[in-house]
Amino acid sequence: MSDDRQGTNEGACPEIETRQIAINGQLLQVAIRHGGGSGPPLLLFNGIGANWELARPFLQALTRTTAIIFDVPGVGGSPRSLLPYRPSTLARLAAALVAELGYAEIDVAGVSWGGGIAQQFAHQYPKLCRRLVLAATAPGVTMVPGGPSVLWKMLTPRRYTDKEYMNRIAADLYGGAFRSDPSLIGRHAATMHGARNLGYFYQLLAVAGWTSLPWLWSLPQPTLILMGSDDPLVPAINGHILKALIPNAELQMIDDGHLFIVTRPEETAGLIEAFLADASRQVEPSSPLSRMAGWVGGLVPAFGRRRDAEAPQGNGDAGRMT
């Protein structure tokens, strides 16, 4: 591994250092928010097509946690890789980055698409990953999807390159605060500059056919799952499924949409830091057989909640869990 480091970029927040670091021949744009806490750093995997700057409000809202985030190859400041990759490839790349930065233990968080990579990392490197945070995410292709029109808009990075298009679709795509505060759309769009067509396609290809369902029961880490109550992209039922299948997991709902990490950064950072700092959270020991039994048993109530959410309400309108 080699290291090609640069100083803090002009205009960056003083608390956030950016570097160009070469890992196994792949150049990565890395941002580090330095905190004063004594706990392990938090490695954050961003959403699809998202450059690290989109997570800046969350990084700035952290009060004591050191956080590391990097642009995946083909997004933001990281050049595209020569070949497509899988979640396991990105997990290896991230583990090598953590080693290059000198850390022997980290906490891991993932948002949306990045939540899948975070799950893969926790599964692939259980001794390196102490705790896991999953935000607005799902167990891969086995997820309960959003509506077809919403998913169709995700197949292209056009919203990253066409600000007018972004203004038209943001409320329907992200829900929550984007529905009630149009000014958020412009501010968010102004920060989006990372996605490139082939890089975006590589991200879509990475998770094609991928699922964490067969091994979620084996994750040993204490896990915090955060879901938005009005999320058109990843309906909240997916959080209940993750909660049911991960042995040491808890679920908290946030009254917002898919991008609550951006629209409610202080609340999100507070929940995550409280979870990471809680020394009373210990892994509950269990045998592989008991974990597998919980995996199977968790499917029934989780999907029962989906049926309840879709059942007609008293006023005749269909219930909606988004």
Is the pLDDT at 63 greater than 70? The verdict is yes
Q: Environment class of residue 187 by beta-carbon count within 10 Å: exposed (0-12), middle (13-18) or buried (19+)?
A: exposed
| 194, 200 contact by CB (below 8 A) | no
Q: CA nearest 176: which of 262, 267, 257?
A: 257
- pLDDT, greater one: 318 or 172: 172
Query: Burial, 165: exposed, middle or buried (Cβ in 10 Å; 0-12, 13-18, 19+)?
Result: middle
Q: What is the mean pLDDT of residues 71-100?
A: 95
pTM: 0.83
227 within 8 A of 234, measured Cβ to Cβ = yes
CB atoms closer than 10 angstroms to residue 285: 9
Are the CB atoms for 267 and 242 separated by under 8 Å?
Answer: no
Q: Quick check: 5 pLDDT over 60?
A: no
Can you give the pLDDT at residue 215? 97
Instruction: Answer for the pair 1, 94: CB distance below 8 angstroms, yes or no.
Output: no
Q: How many Å apart are CA 211 and CA 206, to the nearest integer?
A: 11
Q: What is the 3-state secondary structure (H, E, C) of 64-101?
A: CCCEEEECCCCECCCCCCCCCCCHHHHHHHHHHHHHHC
Tell which wins on pLDDT, 70 or 281.
Answer: 70
The question of whether 112 is a catalytic residue gets the answer yes
Q: Tell how strand 106-111 and strand 42-45 pair up.
A: parallel
Query: How far, in Å, CA of 227 to CA of 312, rounded?
Result: 23
Tokens of 214: 């067969």
The helix (run of H) or strand (run of E) holding residue 190 is helix 183-191
User: What average pLDDT does the segment 44-51 reach?
Assistant: 93
The pLDDT confidence band at residue 11, using thresholds 50, 70 and 90, is very low
Is the pLDDT confidence value at 206 over 80?
yes
Q: Which pLDDT does position 152 carry in this prediction?
A: 77
Residue that is written with structure tokens 């950072």 in the block: 269
Instruction: Give the model's confidence band at 321: pLDDT under 50 very low, under 70 low, under 90 confident, else very high.
Output: very low
Bigger pLDDT: 116 or 185?
Answer: 116
Residue 68 pLDDT exceeds 60: yes
H or E stretch at 17: strand 16-23
112-164 tens-digit pLDDT: 999 999 999 999 999 999 999 999 999 999 899 888 888 777 777 777 767 77
Residue from 2, 78, 88, 112 carrying the catalytic annotation = 112
Three-class secondary structure of residue 317 per DSSP: coil
Task: Please give the structure tokens belonging to residue 74.
Answer: 């083909």
The answer to whether the beta carbons of residues 129 and 144 sit under 8 Å apart is no
Confidence of residue 281 (pLDDT cuts 50, 70, 90): confident
Beta strand 67-70 pairing with 42-45: parallel
Please check the confidence at residue 13 and state whether its pLDDT lies above 80: no
**Mean predicted confidence (pLDDT) in 93-120:** 98
Q: Facing residues of 16 across strands?
A: 33
Query: What is the rounded average pLDDT of the residues 49-68?
Result: 94
Helix (H, G, I), strand (E, B) or coil at 44: strand
Residue 10 has pLDDT above 50, yes or no: no
Lowest mean pLDDT among 192-201, 265-274, 280-289, 291-300: 291-300
- Give the model confidence (pLDDT) of 14-36 as tens digits: 489 999 999 999 999 999 999 98
Whole-angstrom distance, CA of residue 136 vs CA of residue 115: 8
pLDDT at 318: 33
Task: Give the tokens for residue 154.
Answer: 């995700």
Q: How confident is the model at residue 299 (pLDDT cuts 50, 70, 90)?
A: low
**Beta strands, E only, 24-163:** 26-33, 42-45, 67-70, 106-111, 129-135
Residue-level pLDDT at 296:
60
Q: What is the pLDDT of residue 222?
A: 97
pLDDT value at residue 312: 43
Residue 279 pLDDT: 85
